[in-house]
Amino acid sequence: MTEKRPFLYTLKFGIVIAITAAIVLCVGFAFTKHFESKKTDTSLPVFNKDDKIRFVIDPGHGGEDAGAVAYDGTLEKDLNLEIGTLLHSVLELNGKEAVLTRTTDTLLYDRFDDLNDYTGQKKVYDLKNRLKIAEEKENSIYVGIHMNKFPVEKYSGLQVYYSQNTELSQDIADDIKNTVSTYLQPNNQRQVKRATASIYILHNAHIPAVLIECGFLSNEKELASLKDKDYQKLLALNLFASLIEHGN
């Protein structure tokens, strides 16, 4: 009987070792799988400036959201669409791949049928969907088109905001600013600005992204220019010339 005891101890010890080893193996496997799944997560868009680049032109606002309203009743959403459409056409005519987020007077909150009822959430989903459209487009650069407004009439001039999330965003913004102040608005002293969280799309973009405030609807002279078809074409050409620096 006494000889069997060491055998039992050895057996028990062996079982404990085997269970411990099994647990260590299982935990190790789970960790490996966890990091593997992180490594192979392809949900984030990847941007490569050497590959073919697509431009996503996003005329801000639409539908029940007019954006800024000028003293004469001109709506920001309409000018955004007119200038955005011109920019899109110039890009396409020159063989560049470009898409418009909207071609009609509408918001985009229900584009992906996320909810049954969007009450109180239209603006949130509208912005979310514009970013989604841009990021789903392979290797794309986002260009938001907007108009400015200020309570004081004297301010004028185009202003570019850029996303802090990619270096290229600031380069594009600088190019737009430099082109416009060389060819269109020689007195424009406005520096490009890094977007804060208040500009949802730029703040959350994983792709190069800029937002252009084309001018001030609160400035009578600039408003007249922004409504003028020839000025709109000139502006679109300036934006095009800046963007193609970055498009293959």
Q: Does 77 bind Zn ion (CB under 5 A)?
A: no
Total residues at interface with Zn ion (CB under 5 A)? 3
Query: Does 146 help bind Zn ion (rule: CB under 5 A)?
Result: yes
Closest approach of Cβ 26 to Zn ion, in Å?
54
Question: Does residue 177 interact with Zn ion by CB under 5 A?
Answer: no
Element (H, E) at 210: strand 209-216
- The nearest distance, CB 134 to Zn ion, in angstroms, is 16
Q: How far is the CB of 71 from Zn ion (least distance, A)?
A: 17
User: Which residue number, 67 or 247, has a Cβ lying nearer to Zn ion?
Assistant: 67
Residue 79 to residue 77: CA distance in whole angstroms: 6
- DSSP helix/strand/coil, 151: coil
In the shown chain, the binding pattern of residues 45 to 64 toward Zn ion, with x for contact by CB under 5 A and - for none, equals ---------------x----
**∠ Cα 67 200 167 (to 5°):** 120
247 is an interface residue for Zn ion by CB under 5 A? no
Residue in 244, 144, 159 with CA at minimum distance from that of residue 204: 144
Encode 143-156: b = buried (16+ Cβ within 10 Å), e = exposed: bbbbbbbeeeeebb
- Per rule CB under 5 A, is residue 67 in the interface with Zn ion? yes
Of the two residues 60 and 157, which places its CB atom closer to Zn ion in the complex?
A: 60
Nearer to Zn ion by C-beta: 53 or 212? 212
DSSP codes, 170-191: HHHHHHHHHHHHHHT-TT--PP
Q: Which residues form the interface with Zn ion (CB under 5 A)?
A: 60, 67, 146
